[in-house]
Amino acid sequence: MKYWNFMKHIKTYMGICLGSLLMTMSSCEPDMDFNNPSADNEATYYNTKEHLTYAVNGAYNILQRAGGWARWMPFMLNARSDEYVFTSGAAAGEPETARLSQYNVNADLGSVSTCYQDLYVLQYAANLALEKLEANQDGAFDLNNEDDKKLYDRLKGEAIFLRGLSRFYLVYFWGDEIPDRDYVTTGEGDYMLPPAEPGAIYQRMVKDFQDAANLLSDWSYEGTENEGRATKGSALAFLAKTYMARPILDGTAKAGDAEWALAKDVLWQIIDSHQYSLMDNYRDNATEDNENNAESLFEVQFCQSVETDGFNPAANGDLNDWVVTGQNTIRELEMSAPNSTESARWWNGQPSLALYNEFERDASGKIIDPRAYLGMYIPGGCNFLGKSGNWIPYEVLFSGDTFDEWRGKWFGCRKYSLDQVRSKEQSGINDRLIRYSDILLMYAECCLEADNDEATAKKYIQMVRDRANKNTEAFNTTEADLGNDYLKGNTLPTVDELLQQKPVVGRVVGSNGDVICEGMELNSVRRILKHEYSVELYWEGWRFFNLMRWYNNPNDPDQSIVLNNLKNKNALQVEQTNLTGTQVFDYSRHLRVPIPSTELSTNTNMHGNSAN
């Protein structure tokens, strides 16, 4: 039961929560009594354990909005990386996502404004839940009762974690000179809150994740009614991410200020808990089956809502509707298979040639890493159940007058996608924000950085590669994968064998013979780790984040060249799609996206950032 009755009570909660928010936005009120004394209101609603649980549930709900993972966040997280290029469909019909990929974002871009808005609403909802928990703790809970105390701590820990999550993503996208609150918005002058002092939000997000980890005692809720809620592991995982990314999250930090030793200790707590493990089947981490599994530390929960029509405003299911919000994501529709004769999707982004060439190959040039086939629609890969009702290969899926000349350069992202057309393309597939394989790779990185311990780093990299090498024929039983050799596994060399073979991965040579992406020779443990991050976690939102971290690591021998693929992205885009307009990546300008013009025009105490 992954949804813990969100839909049952979310409309009531959101009506009260957002009613309160809208009232605080008004500078004057009519001089009349307009409240129904018998109706639920903010003052009387939050006085039971049940209703305080709904308050926290309401904060979770913000993750499922358009400015969260229901629509724009996957583009915000992936489009700016070198693993992604935009399509002609995006250029013609969804230019907002194309502009994210082009580093051509201005302060009026609606997707950026929506994400900014919803992340602040997440902060508001988390603070509201915390305020009501504190105000009603003695009336709703008996804190001398062990069960009551555990529920109270759990709810408080979840709300603090969600506030930390809002801070993490707000600072990652917009920098740390932005407003920040650990209280419920008071209205009027509070909407003119100036930016926090540099470094202040970093310290607050660290404390949020620390406090959440201390309050949350459970590591997993798999198979219980609380499945999908934040856990101790969720909080520790984001705490480690925060420590490792201090140079890009703390306005007072400089390159080289990552907290490697602190991150290593936190990651070891997760590993040493023995509460998480790698799923045998890599594909289980991106489908609707086996969600909230043993590998998952935190997911944004989705389902195919039966109460709304997803993103169709005419059916009262608009993703931007505050009260009637479908629990769907449309990532499958926009970021998976092409809009061809056999599919019915918008296809606004696709895996880049740099990513496609990142996967290891045999002597004949065939990809030998099963993860490529289990996560992308590529030549030699899975079949797709098309509109014809037939299972079709890549060559038919990518067919038609437009596709024929680009076959072999155009790909689909199979992650978070069903391998078929369905009547309602909005999806119930959860977005996995952080997985145990990422924890193992981060731990390997901390071993290198904190202790120069290559032996231990190799051990944890090898654990991730060993899973990728497993025979998964028994798990992939649909006709999408049936009978394909890549299911048999046992094709990937070990880390030590890679060090001996020294293959070059990620190299892209243009049709005219020009080298677009130099690629990387896998001749060190550090480079093999970077390679493993990419082939394991591609299109899961961490590539751009990781590139920015590595660029801010003076100990990395590749520091001076780590951004080259981003700087050469226009040539990569042209080679793969013939679409131009991508700007040369400039770290000082393009690390962030602009503060939205709506914020700058309404808050006179705010100023732009380096991207404005």
Q: Give the tokens for residue 302.
A: 């989705």
Measured CA to CA, the distance from residue 310 to residue 327 in angstroms comes to: 7
Q: What is the mean pLDDT of the chain?
A: 91
> CB neighbours of 95 closer than 8 A, spacing ≥ 6?
none
Q: Residue 224 has what DSSP assignment?
A: S
Report pLDDT digits (tens) over 43-91: 778 889 999 999 999 999 999 999 999 999 999 999 999 999 999 999 9
Q: In which band, very low, low, confident or very high, does the pLDDT at 344 lie, cut at 50, 70 and 90?
A: confident
Sequence letter at residue 377: Y
Measured CA to CA, the distance from residue 612 to residue 608 in angstroms comes to: 5
**Nearest in space to 71 (alpha carbons), one of 395, 427, 354, 329:** 329
Q: In which band, very low, low, confident or very high, does the pLDDT at 471 lie, cut at 50, 70 and 90?
A: very high
If one compares 426 and 16, the residue with the highest pLDDT of the two is 426
**What 3-state class would DSSP assign to 572?**
helix
| Mean pLDDT of all residues in 597-603 | 95
- What percent of the chain is modeled with pLDDT above 90? 81
> CB neighbours of 563 closer than 8 A, spacing ≥ 6?
547, 551, 585, 587
Q: What is the CATH number of domain 6-26+39-277?
A: 1.25.40.390
Q: Which long-range contacts (CB under 8 A, 24 or more apart) does 448-454 make?
A: 448/525, 448/526, 448/529, 449/258, 449/260, 449/553, 449/555, 450/260, 450/261, 450/264, 451/264, 454/525
Question: Could you tell me which residues are beta bridge partners of residue 517?
Answer: 508
For residue 21, pLDDT over 60 is answered with: no
* Residue 98 confidence (pLDDT): 97
Q: What DSSP letter does each residue of 495-538 carry, written as one string?
A: HHHHHHH--EES-EE-TTS-EEE--EE--SHHHHHHHHHHHHHT
Measured CA to CA, the distance from residue 216 to residue 208 in angstroms comes to: 12
Q: In which band, very low, low, confident or very high, does the pLDDT at 372 lie, cut at 50, 70 and 90?
A: very high
Report pLDDT digits (tens) over 88-139: 999 998 899 999 999 999 999 999 999 999 999 999 999 999 999 999 988 8
* Residue 316 confidence (pLDDT): 45
For residue 571, pLDDT over 70 is answered with: yes
Q: In which band, very low, low, confident or very high, does the pLDDT at 395 lie, cut at 50, 70 and 90?
A: very high
Q: Helix, strand, coil % (nearest 5) of the chain?
A: 45, 5, 45
Q: Is residue 487 a contact partner of residue 380, using CB atoms and an 8 Å limit?
A: no
Sequence letter at residue 223: G
* Residue 194 confidence (pLDDT): 96
Report pLDDT digits (tens) over 529-545: 999 999 999 999 999 99
Q: In which band, very low, low, confident or very high, does the pLDDT at 574 lie, cut at 50, 70 and 90?
A: very high
Q: Radius of gyration of the chain from Cα atoms?
A: 24
**Under the phi-then-psi rule, with left for phi > 0, alpha for psi from -120 to 50, and beta for the rest, what region is 35?**
beta
Domain range list for the chain: 6-26+39-277
| Mean pLDDT of all residues in 344-366 | 95
Q: In which band, very low, low, confident or very high, does the pLDDT at 423 lie, cut at 50, 70 and 90?
A: confident
Q: Where are the alpha helices (DSSP H) in 33-109?
A: 42-45, 49-62, 72-78, 88-93, 95-102
**Nearest in space to 190 (alpha carbons), one of 24, 323, 60, 49:** 24
Whether the model pTM is above 0.85: yes
> Which range, of 203-217, 240-254, 305-319, averages the lowest pLDDT?
305-319
> Which range, of 320-329, 377-386, 457-466, averages the lowest pLDDT?
320-329
For residue 7, pLDDT over 50 is answered with: no
